[in-house]
């Protein structure tokens, strides 16, 4: 019996959390949503390039990755202005 009560409590907590999350979300225009997605994609690409730089052994490959990182940083700075 305790198990049934516990699962109902968990279900109620999940419902409350879902309602609070939907209330706190800000509605974005399609342009704002696209801009947000692009920024997140750039951020993830930057993270991947940094990981590749850390594991790269070849100096030429490392240089290409560092150039790519500089380009990504430049594009991310455009979102700050």
pLDDT, one tens digit per residue, over 8-67 is: 677 777 777 777 655 556 788 999 999 999 999 999 999 999 999 999 999 999 999 999
pLDDT average, residue stretch 62-74: 97
Note whether residue 22 is domain-resident: no
Helix, strand or coil for residue 76? Answer: helix
CA distance 75 to 80: 10
Note whether residue 71 is domain-resident: yes
Note whether residue 2 is domain-resident: no
Note whether residue 72 is domain-resident: yes
Note whether residue 63 is domain-resident: yes
Question: Which domain does 70 fall in, by range?
Answer: 30-81
80: pLDDT confidence band, cut at 50, 70 and 90?
confident
Q: Are 76 and 39 in contact (CB under 8 A)?
A: yes
Counting the structural domains of the chain, the total is 1
Choose between 77 and 81: higher pLDDT. Answer: 77
CA distance 32 to 26: 11
């Amino acid at each position: 019996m305790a198990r049934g009560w516990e699962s109902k409590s968990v279900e109620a907590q999940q419902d409350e959390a879902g309602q609070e999350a939907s209330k706190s979300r800000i509605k974005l225009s399609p342009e704002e949503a696209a801009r947000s997605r692009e920024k997140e994609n750039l951020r993830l690409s930057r993270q991947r390039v940094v990981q590749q730089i850390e594991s790269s052994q070849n100096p030429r490959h490392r240089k290409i990755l560092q150039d790519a990182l500089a380009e990504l940083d430049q594009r991310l700075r455009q979102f700050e202005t």
